Chains A and B, each alone.
Chain A
Amino acid sequence: MAMNYNAKDEVDGGPPGAPGGTTKTRRPDNTAFKQQRLPAWQPFLTAGTVLPTFFIIGLIFIPIGIGIFVTSNNIREIEGNVFMYYGLSNFYQNHRRYVKSRDDSQLNGDRSALLNPSKECEPYRRNEDKPIAPCGAIANSMFNDTLELFLVANESDPTLTLIPLKRKGIAWWTDKNVKFRNPPGTESLKERFKDTTNPVNWLKPVYELDPEDEDNNGFINEDFIVWMRTAALPTFRKLYRLIERKNDLHPTLPAGRYYLNITYNYPVHSFDGRKRMILSTVSWMGGKNPFLGIAYITIGSISFLLGVVLLVINHKYRNSNNTADITI
């Protein structure tokens, strides 16, 4: 084809005897792109061509699934750092009006926003003519139960050993250091928040959230930061405390009886919810969730099965296809 055109091009460049010979034909360029002749891979989906895909999927997925499953189920021994969560169910942190009800500028320490929070915070924007800090429904509904974990020494001896719970290190690093900032200034936090009032539901002002650690107060209080990261689904858990492993010899939480002391502040009846406390370690892929492992195994098996079905089909009908080809 191409040769033909070239030949014609040369000879038929223009009308013979045309002066100057600079004739411009309107002949389109004979390029692969313009003539839609780009080299192309043309997959054709039949049982024969597709079945390797299914087998490959099966062969890859099943081992992955087993791996995940095993990992997930191995989150058993409470060794290493133990994470203490509180769980809420039926709590719609993802409600549209709820999600919007915050002022990130205020939380980032912006002074003007501190004193004049965003309209999004309504109706938790001002209280008795004082701006609320932190404003908004999310902050207002912050979880404020206190959980304490004690180890009962043994059956006979009811002395309780308080398990030390670490309050810091539970929020995202970026949240703690970039997104959330206290209002600037060298004065005490109380001074810096002096023109504001605490959210309606709060018992304490924002600068007294952590009585133990001055640096964990105000907007950079990690409990607060964790709460402000609104959960995706109505049943969720949030990291509450960290139980650090002291040394390699003992498990972080040795076997025994534990005693959980709850200071009950947070009502869940209003939304038919439930509260939970969860202790868990994490693996490389997060907390315990067997779903992914099972899913991989299932999908891998299904894929493998489908592959087999296709193999059968391919074997059975290939012949007829071939004969058709031959008779041409």
Chain B
Amino acid sequence: MQRESESTEEPEPPGRRRRRREGRTRTVRSNLLPPPSAEDSVAGATKGERLQRLGCVQHVADNRLKTTKYTLLSFLPKNLFEQFHRLANVYFVFIALLNFVPAVNAFQPGLALAPVLFILAVTAFKDLWEDYSRYRSDHEINHLGCLVFSREEKKYVNRFWKEIHVGDFVRLRCNEIIPADILLLSSSDPDGLCHIETANLDGETNLKRRQVVRGFSELVSEFNPLTFTSVIECEKPNNDLTRFRGCIIHDNGKKAGLYKENLLLRGCTIRNTEAVVGIVIYAGHETKALLNNSGPRYKRSQLERQMNCDVLWCVLLLVCMSLFSAVGHGLWMQRYQDKKALFDVPESDGSSLSPVTAAVYSFLTMIIVLQVLIPISLYVSIEIVKVCQVYFINQDIELYDEETDSQLQCRALNITEDLGQIQYIFSDKTGTLTENKMVFRRCTVSGIEYSHDANAQRLARYQEADSEEEEVPRGGSSQRGSIGSHQSIRILHRSQSTKSYWRTGSRAEAKRASVLSKHTAFSSPMEKDITPDPKLLEKVNECDKYLAISRHQEHPLAQLSPELSDVFDFFIALTICNTVVVTSPDQPRQKVRVRFELKSPVKTIEDFLRRFTPSRLTSGCSSIGSLATNKSSHKSGCSFMSTLSNDSMLFRLEERLGQPTPAIASNGYSSPADSWEPEYPQEPQPKQELRFEAESPDEAALVYAAKAYNCALVDRLHDQVSVELPHLGRLTFELLHTLGFDSIRKRMSVVIRHPLTDEINVYTKGADSVVMDLLLPCSSDDARGQHQNKIRSKTQNYLNLYAMEGLRTLCIAKRVLSKEEYACWLQSHLEAESSVDNREELLFQSAIRLETNLHLLGATGIEDRLQDGVPETITKLRQAGLQIWVLTGDKQETAINIAYACKLLDHDEEVITLNAESQEACAALLDQCLHHVQSRGSYTPEKTESCVNVGFSSLYLASATSTVSGPSPSLVIDGRSLAYALDKNLEDKFLFLAKQCRSVLCCRSTPLQKSMVVKLVRSKLKAMTLAIGDGANDVSMIQVADVGVGISGQEGMQAVMASDFAVPRFRYLERLLIVHGHWCYSRLANMVLYFFYKNTMFVGLLFWFQFYCGFSASAMIDQWYLIFFNLLFSSLPQLVTGVLDKNVPAHVLLLKPQLYKSGQNREEYRPRAFWLNMVDAAFQSLICFFIPYLAYYDSDVDMFTWGTPITAIALFTFLLHLGIETKTWTWLNWTACVFSIFLFFTVALIYNASCATCYPPSNPYWTMQALLGDPVFYLICLIAPITALLPRLFFRALQGSLFPTQLQLARQSAKKYPKKPETTKETLAQKHFPGDTKTELSEGMNTSPFETLSKDCASEASQHTQQPSCSPKTNREPSTVDISVPLREDTVLEDLGAQAPGSSRPDEAVLEACPENSKRKPTSSSQEAPLPSLFNLPSFSSLNWISSLSLVSGLGSVLQLSRSSLQMDKQDGEFLSTPPQPDQDLHGLQGQATDYF
């Protein structure tokens, strides 16, 4: 929770761990030591003294987790303080307090406070509850146990997590969760390694390796905390998970650097290591994990912003009404005061109020009385509705992913309705559109391509199997079966991590992460079982055999032909150039080294571990024992000498490792389930099925691929890698360095010493664009060089081909280093490694120095399969009017091909490619493209006309014609050009161009660029944006967008943590947006509108009354009703409607994504709707006021007996109004309405019977009871609401039958064709809705014709491409479609080949495509029956708004007139003493005795 800045700036509480405040470092020393010497504690002298006095050595930041905001005492003030940050709350409290001023009060002051207090209490209760659940989970976590070394008892004792302090020594066992940030000092691992799983932190399930601090790994005996006297200096707590720097200063003054490899982070899990000991560096809230854990985000939705604007209108209205009333009251006072009217009440001292003062008082009172206009309950209601919406989204079973057992998560509670208004989607590619499950597809070695056809067929089979699986409920699917063998152990982990989950974001995520860990990420059979290419396999075998024979010769590799040598190296590189950790399913990752005897009772411990969760493993002594013996006996000989002297490193070079033990008899890969053989415990586990845990799926894919060629990685330690070959046996490579992958270098390298040649080799694997540039330049003079060049160009060609296929390409290269070169490089590298300042920079430089002059071995193509349903989803989203941009870091070709595969790009359409080398070029290209696009735009209107003319007879003709003019093009831009285009000068042009394009594809873009693009579109186009991604590189984009969606996939939780919504798969986006987004928007929009209507109407009643009470701010409605009306009586039905109403059923929305546009265009809640609603509210309040007024005119009715029916009428009117607006009536709606009425009358009856003298001034004793006996009450309760709603009902009916909107048509059709499983879908799809084509055309008439056409055609086209899968129509005539596709593909391929942006080439393509379309035309026109009704309807709907608007506004003005004339009449009557109408009535009263006195 704490941010870095806070934690560094906050005053240090006493008892905190001492830090050196003056520096930017913190010093940590053992808690077991006597008090530090004086010079260290100068800074905190007083504190130190105090502590010493207490006899305590270390004063200590404890590991207590406290995420609660409040304590019992601080809750009330703090919570209130927070709530008053909301302006609305302040306003309401202000109004309520105003009531305490006697001169202006309108209600009993206490009563006026009630609603505000209620609202505050509800919020406070919610906060309290949240805080309490936080407290409970904190408590649970704080009371987890772990072993801490105790000074008193001289051994490790069990303590709670919260009792751990900085400087404590903690001992952790396998599968335990790390309680704090701990510096690793000792490990049971002979190499001082420790593996941790960081799933809780970043969701990555692969193991990360951590290393004991240098100088501690070679301790002979078990690490003894008591002897630890070194001082650790490190950074202040910060939230950078990927960085840790510091140094440890030993007693003898020696320093050793500390890096992130030495730090165990809180929340991770120890794996694969029996026991580790470390010293706590950061505890509690200073741990990196907690510093990273920022709270939930608050976003304000678009609708809410619009609503706030309307709230301001309401404020204005309120002020106007109050002002009007105040002026009125002033005048009225002036008139009656002089005459000392009987009803004029002077001030308490007898003096009379001056009219001006009275007006001011009246103004304030009016504000109180009319406060309802600013809906106090609106905010609360919206929050309730949103929570319910989130609940329903979470509960949607169709958003539940079977495979990962996860459902959609809403992380942001307050932007659900934004989902219904998205205009732009920015998507990542890898892992979002694709599975991020890498499958080795093909490779090229030494210029020869191996196509792996069998492999391709196998993949195709999987694909089929997959789709079959979808239909058949999968029972014990193959995928799970294959990993079933290690299931048991995984379950262990899982139960553990579920129990002691660790909160990064929410409980749910921790749980989910643990579930994820059950499925080991990259081990589906599809990726594992690779069918080798026979040719290549043969070559590998040849190598292998040959080397097996010649291994003892001087230069075994030299005898091989260069090609075979390359093949061999290629596979060695595939196998070892990575960071893959090998595990065996039935084993914990217990490391066994061949040249050591095995630690004694491993087998039993493992069994033990398997059965019990380790946290309960109390008898860990045996493993400790083994750790000790192991260390003592073997450490000295084997370990990596990590002293920093170069001499010793070089010395090691000379040292020759012993040959590994001879090969194990046969390769046992085919029999994976062989059990552990107790007789040969020292042998590694070759008979086990090996599992490769990789940091990225690519790596795993390559290792599995190599394994398919019998070149299997069997063991990886930090200083050696073992590879198993059938003939050659086990080869152990001494691993000298691993230069990890980073996104800047885009490659990784390993430096090894080859066991056969004893040479030092560098194997590099990286993106082709990078690696190809780093190759050793070859002179074209000699044959060898020419050959090399040929290989390179061939490889490059194949690379291009792979990219065309949408494969991810990697180049494999090698470099042989001479010892001198290596020594030279090593020196600088070690310097870089040991430097404390800008170590990263130096290491980067060092890596660059090494990775040059490479020899190209080959290249691989890895397939990243599209996720299920991606093309369909994209098509649907397109139809829904969403613009989809793909922002990817991948290379252009790959991206384009994936884009084609997922229907983002269409082969029909023109693709503009923007690749610029410089700013100027970019500007020029942009201009050119713009010109091109605009020139298309300029002649398109003519086309459109013709298109429309013909289009009525046949829709397909229209689409055919439009293909000639072409749908809007797509834009492909690479990262470099994007950088130029995003420049201030060009961004407008770029945006303008991008806006014209159907889809935009940004390749090779950096995370920053991604977010810049989103920001640009958001700010410049004022569009609603959604960003979806799965990886850390998408985080910035996700955060910038209006709605951020994270894919809770395989690349960790970072994207999810940053997102507002997390979906398991891309395809769920469709339902999330098109169904839930639409519903949420429509529900909330209607509810907000209804709220405004309701409050205005209610306030209107009070306002009209002012004309009859001298504008004295009097209210005929009892204050209780006035205050609780909104809160109690009329709140429930609208909430039910707001939560449950469905304007269109889900299946219709999905079938007709076009309906989504209503949200984008904000059709439901636009200013016009707001004002129409306000006018209607004014009208209704007039009716509801004047019907009772006239009915009770000149009667003996008293004020509140008259006001109560008005309240009842208002309630009925509200309910009826809601009834008209409600689209679906469930029993809940009925119940809510009945409940509302029931509640009102019950409360009224009880209230009116409760007290004879209370509740001044209304004193409504027995009023309701009396009214219930009065027939007039029932009569006006019947007529007034109906009269008030007649116009609305009538216009709704008119609109519903004359100018139905798309949504209404869709609803209607849904009603006619209720959802039936399966069959309906097809029939519906087939008929694709009458309103669809109709209104789309008519829409077009209103907007620009160009746009319509393209939309129309686009949807047509997409329908066409989509159909083959489902529609029976295309089944009937498959020929047309089948023929057209390949032909057009060709043209596009050509087109792609040499694409000069803005050139005229697309025209050619179009020309070629043209005959196709014309061919298609006749058949399709016969298919598609002409729609005669089309002639009529467009004109209707174009008239739609105009006519309805004029009608309604006309009505409004009429009303306005009648109202004012009414007032005039009335006032005349009052002021001028002309006998008004009622008097004449009296005359007519039998003429008996109407006398004026």
Contacts and interface: CB of A to CB of B under 8 A. Distances in A.
B1075 to A, nearest CB: 10
A316 to B, nearest CB: 9
B407 interface: yes
Interface string B80-95: 0000000000000000
Contact of B487 (A15, A119, A125, A260): A15
B1486 A93 contact: no
B1140 A38 contact: yes
A230 B1198 contact: yes
Given A34-B395, A141-B342, A99 B1199 contact: yes
B1198 A235 contact: no
Contact of A123 (B350, B407, B487): B350
Chain A's interface size range is: 35 or more
B1492 interface: yes
Given A235-B1193, A299-B1282, A35 B1261 contact: no
B1202 interface: yes
Contacts of B1327: 328
A122 interface: yes
Contact of B1262 (A3, A174, A291, A296): A174
Interface in B425-451: none
A317 B1298 contact: yes
A231 B1492 contact: no
B1153 interface: no
A291 B1265 CA distance: 24
A101 B1253 CA distance: 14
B1317 interface: yes
Interface in A147-170: 149
Contacts of A45: 1220, 1289, 1292-1293, 1295-1296
Interface string A112-125: 00000011101101
B1330 interface: yes
B920 interface: no
B655 to A, nearest CB: 48
B1192 A41 contact: no
A187 B1267 CA distance: 37
Interface in A273-292: 274-280, 284-292
A51 interface: yes
A35 B1076 CA distance: 12
A302 B1286 contact: yes
B359 to A, nearest CB: 13
A325 B1330 contact: yes
A66 interface: no
B1225 A91 contact: no
Interface in A53-91: 53-54, 57, 61, 64, 68, 76, 78, 85, 87, 89-91
Contact of A232 (B349, B1192, B1226, B1253): B1192
Interface string B1174-1215: 000000000000010111111111110111000000000000
Given A36-B392, A42-B1307, A320-B1432, A270 B475 contact: no
Interface stretch (B863-871, B1018-1026, B1109-1117, B1385-1393): B1109-1117
A108 B1252 contact: yes
Contacts, number: 374
A231 B1199 contact: yes
B392 A15 contact: no
A68 B1191 CA distance: 12
Contacts of A3: 1317
A40 interface: yes
Contacts of A30: 397
A47 B1311 contact: no
B514 to A, nearest CB: 12
Contacts of A327: 1330, 1425, 1427-1429
Contact of A85 (B480, B1196, B1481): B1196
A285 B1261 contact: no
Nearest to B1249: A174
Contacts of B643: none
A27 B403 CA distance: 11
A47 B402 contact: no
Interface in B1279-1310: 1279, 1282-1283, 1286, 1289-1290, 1292-1298, 1300, 1304, 1307-1308
Contacts of B1279: 61, 292, 295-296, 299
A7 interface: yes
A286 B346 CA distance: 36
B1293 A274 contact: no
Contact of A44 (B1113, B1294, B1308, B1485): B1308
A275 B1253 contact: no
Contact of A94 (B400, B1199, B1252, B1259): B1199
A56 B400 CA distance: 48
Nearest to A82: B1488
Interface stretch (B286-294, B703-711, B973-981, B1270-1278): B1270-1278
A45 B1482 CA distance: 45
B1257 interface: yes
B651 interface: no
A46 B1304 CA distance: 10
B1386 to A, nearest CB: 37
Given A87-B1194, A260-B1491, A15 B518 contact: yes
B1339 to A, nearest CB: 16
A18 B495 CA distance: 12
B473 A292 contact: no
Contacts of A87: 1194
A174 B1261 CA distance: 8
A201 B518 CA distance: 91
Interface in B1135-1162: 1140, 1142, 1146
B1471 interface: yes
B1223 A42 contact: yes
A125 B1142 CA distance: 60
Contacts of B1308: 44
Nearest to A120: B1256
A188 interface: no
B484 A12 contact: no
A306 interface: yes
Contacts of B14: none
A265 to B, nearest CB: 11
Contacts of B491: 18-19
Of B349, B396, B1252, B1473, chain A has the most CB atoms within 10 Å of the CB of B1252
Contacts of B341: 92, 270-271
Contact of A236 (B394, B1110, B1194): B1194
| A-B CB proximity, top 5 nearest | A122-B348, A232-B1202, A50-B1293, A328-B1327, A16-B476
Given A89-B1470, A235-B1478, 6 more contacts: A18-B491, A90-B1470, A104-B1252, A239-B1196, A285-B1271, A327-B1427
10 contacts: A11-B475, A54-B1286, A78-B1488, A99-B1114, A101-B345, A232-B1197, A233-B1108, A260-B1489, A270-B342, A324-B1331
Interface of B: 102, 106, 336, 339-350, 365, 392, 394-397, 400, 402, 405-407, 473-476, 480-481, 484, 487-488, 491, 518, 1108-1110, 1112-1114, 1116, 1140, 1142, 1146, 1187, 1189-1199, 1201-1203, 1220, 1223-1228, 1252-1254, 1256-1257, 1259, 1261-1262, 1265-1266, 1270-1272, 1275-1276, 1278-1279, 1282-1283, 1286, 1289-1290, 1292-1298, 1300, 1304, 1307-1308, 1311-1312, 1317, 1327-1331, 1334, 1425, 1427-1429, 1432-1433, 1470-1471, 1473, 1478, 1481-1482, 1485-1486, 1488-1493
Interface of A: 1, 3-5, 7-8, 10-12, 15-19, 25-30, 34-36, 38-51, 53-54, 57, 61, 64, 68, 76, 78, 85, 87, 89-105, 107-108, 110, 118-120, 122-123, 125, 137, 141, 145, 149, 172, 174-175, 178-179, 201, 226, 229-239, 253, 258, 260, 262, 264, 267, 269-272, 274-280, 284-292, 295-296, 299, 302-303, 306, 310, 313-314, 317, 320-321, 323-325, 327-328
